[in-house]
Structures are given as C-alpha cells and as structure tokens.
Amino acid sequence: MKTLDRPKARPRQQEIPDPQIRDVADQFELARQLLFAQPPGAGVLCPLMNTAAVAIELYLKCLSAEKVYVDAGLGWSRVSATPEFGHGLATLLDKVKVDLRDELDRAFLAELPSLGRLSFQAALEQCEGAFETSRYPFEPNHALSKCPLLLLMGCSYFLQQFVAKLRTRETTQWSDQEPFHARS
C-alpha cells in the first residue's frame, strides 16, 4: 500500500489573536485613551479619531492574521505576521472566522446595549472612513461630523477588552481543501 506524502507547500498557520499585531493595537488603544482624556478644545480631535480607527483596524487584523516563518539560520526562524490588507473595517471583520465574528457580535450586544441592538458589523460600517477622514478633514468629501465619535471610541475600547479576554487559538491548514486543525 502506497502512502501519500503531505504537500510540499508550507502550511497556513495562525495564532488568534496574533500577539505581535495585538501588541501594536494595544499601543494605539493606550494612545487613544490618553488623547480621549484631554479636555474639550485641546485640539486633538483628528489624532483621537485616527488613533481609534488604527486601533480598531489592528485589533481586527490580529483576529485573522497568518504567521510567517523566515529561516534565520542555525535552525532558528524569525516569526512575523501577515495581516489582511486594507483599512476597510467591515471588510477586515469579514476576514475573521465566522464563529469568532458571532462571538464578537454577541459580546458587543451584551457590552453596549445602549446602542439599541446595533450589531458589531453595523457599528463598524458607521465608523467606516474615520481613518481617512481624520487625516484629510479639509477635503470636500471628508467631514468630521459624519464620523460618530463616541461609537468609534466605544468600538476601539470594546475590541481591546474583547481581545484581552480571548483564549488563544492556534490553527494549521495544510491546503485550501483541508480544514484547520485547532489547538487551544
């Protein structure tokens, strides 16, 4: 009986949340909190919005990134992460596995019931464009008033709390046809 070898292609590996991306997201969330603590009229509205948008983006990316191993010689590897590209918050959420998206939505509804049963997806859709608008508020198509500031702040804080409580999930996929094999 002939046995089949594993494919020669490298497996797709994930550690969710990815610790490297999460670390950077936590730094942006901390900066967001520092900016948010400034008194009204402090002149930091655009950096506050931008920092929140970047933190949200990075938290979403840490929930779907793939590990990358580069040979560093002598049997060692340098481990980095390859997140999804782009700044679209709803698009990045779509890259998160369905079970984790459902978990995010349930937690969001439980944490922020004052938003009137707004789903996490709908909240991100309302925050869409904050990254660009906060950098170019002087352009005709970008009005800061279109960005729901408190929802943006709430989503950033919510994701930080959610990711901090998340149990690490490690997965390996050997090909597109095989399912991930999870380890927790």
Assess contact for 163 and 59: CB atoms under 8 A.
Answer: yes
Q: Could you give the percent of the chain with pLDDT greater than 70?
A: 76
Q: Tell me: the pLDDT tens digits for 48-62?
A: 999 999 999 999 999
Dihedral sign for Cα atoms in the order 10, 14, 20, 25? positive
Instruction: Report the C-alpha gap between 166 and 179 in whole angstroms.
Output: 22
Q: Is 138 exposed, middle or buried (0-12, 13-18, 19+ CB in 10 A)?
A: exposed
pLDDT at 17 over 50: yes
Residue-range domain boundaries for the chain: 12-66+84-165
Q: Tell me: the pLDDT tens digits for 112-165?
A: 777 778 899 999 999 999 999 999 988 888 888 888 999 999 999 999 999 999
Which value, to the nearest 10 degrees, does the dihedral of the CA atoms of residues 109, 111, 113, 115 take?
A: -80
Residue holding tokens 């709430």?
Answer: 154
Q: Specify the pLDDT at position 165.
A: 95
Angle subtended at Cα 18 by Cα 15 and Cα 20, rounded to the nearest 5 degrees: 135
**How many Cα atoms occupy the beta-carbon half-sphere of 141 within 13 Å?**
2
Query: From the CB of residue 42, how many other CB atoms can be counted at a distance below 10 Å?
Result: 10
Instruction: Report the C-alpha gap between 163 and 58 in whole angstroms.
Output: 11
* Distant-in-sequence, close-in-space partners of 165: CB < 8 Å, separation ≥ 6: none
For the stretch 56-76, what's the b/e string if a residue is b when 16 or more beta carbons lie within 10 angstroms of its beta carbon? bbbbbbbbbbbbeeeeeeeee
E-strand ranges in the chain read 12-16, 66-73, 76-82, 169-173, 181-183
Q: Could you give the percent of the chain with pLDDT greater than 90?
A: 52
pLDDT at 5 over 60: no
Pairwise pLDDT comparison (19 vs 169), residue with the higher score:
19
Q: Is the pTM of this model over 0.85?
A: no
